[in-house]
Amino acid sequence: MSERMNIVTREENSPELTRQGVVIAPLVDIFENDEEILLFADLPGVNQENLSVNLENNSLTIAGSRKLETRNQAVFEEFGDAEYRRVFSMPQGLDTETVKAELKDGVLRLHLPKSEALKPRQIEVKAG
């Protein structure tokens, strides 16, 4: 039997209007296997320079910003500048030295490997 780790989302305030734009909690998908936790976060329009991923004291923070350049006066606008932010409580025992992050086509892919102590292992049973 394998017990899966629980990742608890610390709820941020609902999206709120600010002078700079909207603060949005990005949508995420989280998968877990024996080797790692894999997190996908939707961050449309965010580039690598405007993205921050921090893992500190079992708290994972994803923050990014989308800045759109406008050439003309907008008549109607639904898609504009935005700030993305989401915070997660992470389980203890992740191998923080080997975490990998990739950003491609507006999707952040975050690999959070488990330490050897957390990985399931088979125990050999010897005949007596």
Domain 11-113 in CATH 2.60.40.790? The answer is yes
User: What pLDDT is stored for residue 21 in this prediction?
Assistant: 56
pTM of the model: 0.73
Rounded distance, CA 81 to CA 21, Å?
6
Domain range annotation of the chain: 11-113
- Evaluate if residue 11 carries a pLDDT over 50: no
| pLDDT tens digits along 16-60 | 444 455 689 999 999 999 899 999 999 999 999 999 999 998 899
Which residue has better confidence, 76 or 11?
76
Rounded distance, CA 50 to CA 21, Å?
15
User: What pLDDT is stored for residue 14 in this prediction?
Assistant: 45
Rounded distance, CA 108 to CA 105, Å?
8
Question: Region 3-10: what's the mean pLDDT?
Answer: 51
- Evaluate if residue 123 carries a pLDDT over 70: yes
| pLDDT tens digits along 68-105 | 777 777 777 777 888 999 999 988 888 888 999 999 99
Number of alpha carbons in the 13 Å side-chain half-sphere of residue 87: 10
